[in-house]
Amino acid sequence: MKLNILCICFNPIPYRGMTLFQRLAHLSGCHTLTLVTGKGLEILPEIEERVTVKRVGPSFGSRFLRYPLFLLAALVCAFRLRREHDFDQVYTSQGLPPTLVLGFVVAKLLGVRWVIDAMDDPMIEFFNYQKRWNWNPAVGLVIGFWRRVLRFVMPRSDLVVAIGKDSHDFLPSILVRRYGVRVDQLFSVPNGVDLAAIPESAPRAHPEKNTARLFYVGYVSPLRGLETLIRAVHYAKSHGVGVSLDLIGEAKDRDRAILWSLVDELSLTGAVVYHGSQPTEVVHEHISSADICIYPFPDVPELACVYPVKVFEYLAFSKPVVASRLPGVSAIIQDGENGLLVEPSDPAAMGQAIIRIVRDDRLRESIERNARPSIAPYDWRLINDKVNDRVIDVTRSATAADDG
């Protein structure tokens, strides 16, 4: 069954490893997709070539200005498009709460089914703003308002795809408890990795004794545990291991100032190198050349459930991984088998794990052998085939009900 799907999204899609990229790439191979997105947002050519992209709203100004104008323009665009397309479904990806409200409004007015792809708590950006602004009461009022709005609209969707093993996993249970999503609406799937895009690595020479190149990709922020990671580098170096750390990802000016002040304080200038945001190919080159890859996230509710794509990619390259012992990543990393788990926000524990991998050849080689085979069930093709089946079922059941 081939569907005509209207996608609404205000997220850039700059990396092939992203869940959103993988989802849209797969669905566009099965259905006709029209993507309504904002001007100026980066969309990889692979999506542009396979999906009809309609860019609306302004391309200038801050996000706080562009976003509300995008919502208005997207609503107008959706109604213009209905004259050209007989849509079967509206699909909204993870974004700020107003995007979900827009999806609800468009689906109801067009009389079609509505699918939410919840790749995180829909309020996570507001939670981050609240922390950055020192729990400002005004932000708390905004959060309370939008939470009530989401409790109204999300239960009225036809399907909610959520990252997790089942409805009892962290994110699906949050959607049920916090936003009123029904269990029968939920379809839980983990994140994954495109194994076909990452060839099996040939055995490589190990580094000189007591040296290692460390690598991290993701948001470069204290909120993602980067202070812990930098202190772990200092710990390892102070215990006689010559480690260096490469960082790739987006970093806000305020976060960079905090982190580089710590680098200077610990005399790590030159040992910690920030490469900015980079395309997928460059990220993969860094993973391939690294000796140990790191996942340092802290133990906070909004991150506990994450099934990190970065960890799947590390393992696909057969890299030893040192990761925080959090519920999501602990479903992927089995301690001592395909990586090492350490207590979150503990630089000494992370440093000790790094030293252990560097100095224990047998452990390192065992982890490298086990890494890639351990993620075979998480191939994106297998995961997104299941998502596609459920997307089709939503429209098929609606058609059957209408015919009946």
Examine the domain organization and report whether 206 and 157 are in the same domain: no
Domain that holds residue 56: 4-192+379-399
- CATH code of residue 17: 3.40.50.2000
CA angle 300, 305, 311 (to 5 degrees): 105
| Residue-wise pLDDT tens digits, 308-339 | 999 999 999 999 999 999 988 999 999 999 99
Examine the domain organization and report whether 158 and 218 are in the same domain: no
Examine the domain organization and report whether 167 and 207 are in the same domain: no
Which amino acid would we find at residue 360?
Answer: D
How does 230-241 read in b/e, with b if 16+ C-beta sit within 10 Å?
A: bbbbbbbbeeeb
Residue 404 lies in a domain: no
Examine the domain organization and report whether 288 and 155 are in the same domain: no
Examine the domain organization and report whether 145 and 273 are in the same domain: no
Examine the domain organization and report whether 177 and 288 are in the same domain: no
Which amino acid would we find at residue 132?
Answer: R
Residue 373 lies in a domain: yes
Examine the domain organization and report whether 237 and 123 are in the same domain: no
Name which of 17-26, 83-92, 110-119, 199-208 the model is least confident about: 199-208
Q: Taking the alpha carbons of 234, 238, 239, 244 in that order, is the dihedral positive or negative?
A: positive
| Residue-wise pLDDT tens digits, 177-234 | 999 999 999 999 999 999 999 988 765 666 667 899 999 999 999 999 999 999 999 9
Q: Looking at 290-379, list the stretches that DSSP marks H as alpha helix, in order from N- to C-terminal side.
A: 301-304, 309-316, 327-330, 347-359, 361-371
Examine the domain organization and report whether 111 and 205 are in the same domain: no
**Percent of residues, the chain, with pLDDT higher than 70:** 94
State the Cα–Cα distance between residues 113 and 111, nearest whole angstrom.
7
Examine the domain organization and report whether 285 and 260 are in the same domain: yes
Q: Taking the alpha carbons of 125, 127, 132, 138 in that order, is the dihedral positive or negative?
A: positive
Report pLDDT for 166: 86
pTM for this predicted structure: 0.88
Residue 20 lies in a domain: yes
Beta bridge partners of 163: 189
Structure tokens at 86: 């007989």
Contacts of residue 73, defined as CB under 8 A and 6 or more positions apart, other chains included, come to 56, 57
What is the domain count for the chain? 2
Examine the domain organization and report whether 84 and 223 are in the same domain: no
Question: Given 3-state DSSP classes, what are the helix, strand and coil percentages for the chain, each rounded to the nearest 5?
Answer: 50, 20, 30
